[in-house]
Structure 1
């Protein structure tokens, strides 16, 4: 299904999830300290506990918003690609999007499994997934900038328009 443009909700979800993930990347120290203390059988520092719970809540929020976003994508569709890029770049963009979607589910789910089910292997998946997500998001940003400044397509502007649809 293809839409003429992204809906206002799709755009807000894109940027909301991006903001939550950025916060998670920048403010994960409290969770790391609590997790490390937990794994060693030690008491966590009192100041780290609220940060750990914030990390859990924001991670679950990413999961809920990502589910909503994927549902909208499936039911409403997305605008067609610009068609200006080489087929190899289109394939790279599709692969990057698929990987981002997979990781915005895998990372919170593995984090929740590590936290709530106390599965250390899930913690490893969480950390590795988080690191891969960082690099794929950077690739995604680079692709959007190439689309905008080199190919002069409308791709980036479509995700910046907050019009009602």
Structure 2
């Protein structure tokens, strides 16, 4: 996909990247209400009234992540992405590709497993959701560390391309 002649990300791709990142951050920080409601649901109990709005917010934001991820993947296929910087060791390039692949997979798996657990009561889907969320956290941290390494150590333009600092 990087051989399309694209030299930078489109403004839409950048906005989608940061929108998804922000939504995921909110989901990580504000998931307690959903956990409480989920536990009550699993036990056949009524949820605390103050937890229900947070659970609904979690569902809506999770669905938003899924919709934005679909849009982002569609744009990636349709218009492509810029090539890798080429400044790093081939092993680091492989790690970066694997990290991106895992992130893309998880921004679909985590919301879809949440939908399967919440709306369809699919056995095991809640566990997949929680494990996927935990893995996503660590992979996003690795992704962030890689971007900072590219910027501060290799002095590449990788981070600037995702910060509106280098737009076509």
Q: TM-score, normalised by structure 2?
A: 0.96
User: Where do 1:92-103 residues align within 5 Å?
Assistant: 92-103=95-106
Corresponding residue for residue 87 of structure 1: 90
Take 1:107 and 1:150, find their aligned partners in 2: how far apart are those partners? Answer: 32
Residue 117 of structure 1 aligns to a residue whose secondary structure is: coil
Q: Is the 8 A contact 1:8 1:162 kept in 2?
A: no
Take 1:161 and 1:79, find their aligned partners in 2: how far apart are those partners? Answer: 14
- Any gaps of 5 or more consecutive residues in structure 2? none
1:52 aligns with 2:55: yes
Pair 1:148–1:163, CA change in 2 (3 A): closer
User: Where do 1:10-159 residues align within 5 Å?
Assistant: 10-159=13-162
Take 1:163 and 1:82, find their aligned partners in 2: how far apart are those partners? Answer: 14
- Any gaps of 5 or more consecutive residues in structure 1? none
**C-alpha RMSD over aligned residues:** 1.1
Size of the alignment, in residue pairs?
Answer: 165
* Farther off after superposition, 126-135 or 153-162: 153-162
Q: CA deviation at 1:162?
A: 6.3
Q: CA deviation at 1:164?
A: 6.3
Q: CA deviation at 1:26?
A: 0.2
Take 1:164 and 1:84, find their aligned partners in 2: how far apart are those partners? Answer: 20
Q: Is the 8 A contact 2:8 2:167 kept in 1?
A: no
Q: TM-score, normalised by structure 1?
A: 0.97
Residue 9 of structure 2 aligns to a residue whose secondary structure is: coil
Take 1:86 and 1:163, find their aligned partners in 2: how far apart are those partners? Answer: 24
Residue 160 of structure 1 aligns to a residue whose secondary structure is: coil
Pair 1:163–1:142, CA change in 2 (3 A): closer
Take 2:105 and 2:85, find their aligned partners in 1: how far apart are those partners? Answer: 24
Q: Is the 8 A contact 2:160 2:166 kept in 1?
A: no
